[in-house]
Amino acid sequence: MGQPNFHRDGSKPDAELVMAARGGEAPSLGLLLERYRPQLYAIALSMLGYTSDAEDAVHETFVTALTRLDGLRDPAAVGGWLHSILRNHCLMALRRRRPCAKPAETDRVFRELADEERIESRIESRDLRDWVWAALGRLPEMQRATVMLRYFGSSPSYEEIAAILGVPVGTVRSRLSNAKVRLSELLLASAGLSDRDHQKLVAERLAFYVAEFRSLYGGGRDRFLAHYADDLEIGLAGGPRRLGRHLFAEIVDEDTGDGVRAEPVRALASGNVTVLEGNFLNPPEDPFHCPPGFAFVLFHGEHQVRGMRIYNSARPARSEE
């Protein structure tokens, strides 16, 4: 199988997509966010690990971008703007994990996110409001009611919403979180109708890696490894970055020798960045050898992968026998 085009983009410039989105074209915003999703997810993985928090931070970033788009001063600088929003959400997720985070840092993040919430309450006046209302109509009714009370009413607190709906505050938070995920998914889905080239690119990359891993386990080790540069920069989560394809070869040989197979199931792609997610298939006699899943962040050069970061999901708890 030939190598896919790792640098094709062919889409409209960022600034043009931002201006179209401000004019009410939700697919343009969805297309812009899809373009940056691999980079954003890679940053979230590096900050939060391969957990649901990383995906949640990206969804939160998308919804924040939807509600703050008119505040972006330079449409051409949308990439840095999105990265900044994402990092704030990641810091908030880290704070939830570590309540003893530095006060100065968390106070700054709280101020910025509080400002985002104030802006979110004005979403109804945006050019994108028609799309937002249509998307809300596709949410389950209790999620929809919670979102409407939070962002379209008089901006009541979580406690007030809980009292109105007769549910615990935790339920309000959960519904809002799930609604943001669904809204971001609908926004990305709207982009698929206007960017067939990007959808084709993603499908090509996933098909390429599925075929490459099958080749690896079918005796094509050397062909598989040839896809990676001799001076590959490789990093494992929480460890230092090191150079050399031989390091990746050692990991591959150890896993295959132990009867472990990696099965890609999802890809995100944009420009020279691919995020590849998949499952580890452990041998029956050693079901806990590798964690259930992995995420590879791949940085492509002209002909080979020049850098990769490897993140593994948490291992499931073993039941005591």
Q: Mark which of 192, 226, 242 sits at the end of a domain.
A: 192
Which residues make beta-bridge pairs with 174? none
Q: Quick one: tokens of 120?
A: 């979110």
Query: Could you report the per-residue pLDDT of 150-188, keeping only the tens digit for each?
Result: 766 655 678 888 888 888 988 988 888 788 777 777 777
Q: Are 180 and 231 found together in one domain?
A: no
Quote the pTM value. 0.73
Query: Could you report the per-residue pLDDT of 103-119, keeping only the tens digit for each?
Result: 444 444 444 444 444 43
Q: Are 28 and 142 found together in one domain?
A: yes
Number of structural domains found in the chain? 2
Q: Are 224 and 169 found together in one domain?
A: no
Say if 137 falls within a structural domain.
yes
pLDDT beyond 90 at 300: yes
Q: Are 256 and 182 found together in one domain?
A: no
Say if 75 falls within a structural domain.
yes
Query: Residue 188: which CATH number?
Result: 1.10.10.10
Q: Are 184 and 208 found together in one domain?
A: no
- Mean pLDDT (whole number) for 80-101: 83
Q: Mark which of 169, 192, 215 sits at the end of a domain.
A: 192
If you search the block for the tokens 């039941």, which residue do you land on? 319
pLDDT beyond 90 at 231: yes
Q: Are 110 and 84 found together in one domain?
A: yes
Q: Are 115 and 218 found together in one domain?
A: no
pLDDT beyond 80 at 140: yes
Domain that holds residue 210: 196-312
Say if 1 falls within a structural domain.
no
pLDDT of amino acid 281: 94
Query: Residue 267: which CATH number?
Result: 3.10.450.50
- Mean pLDDT (whole number) for 237-242: 81
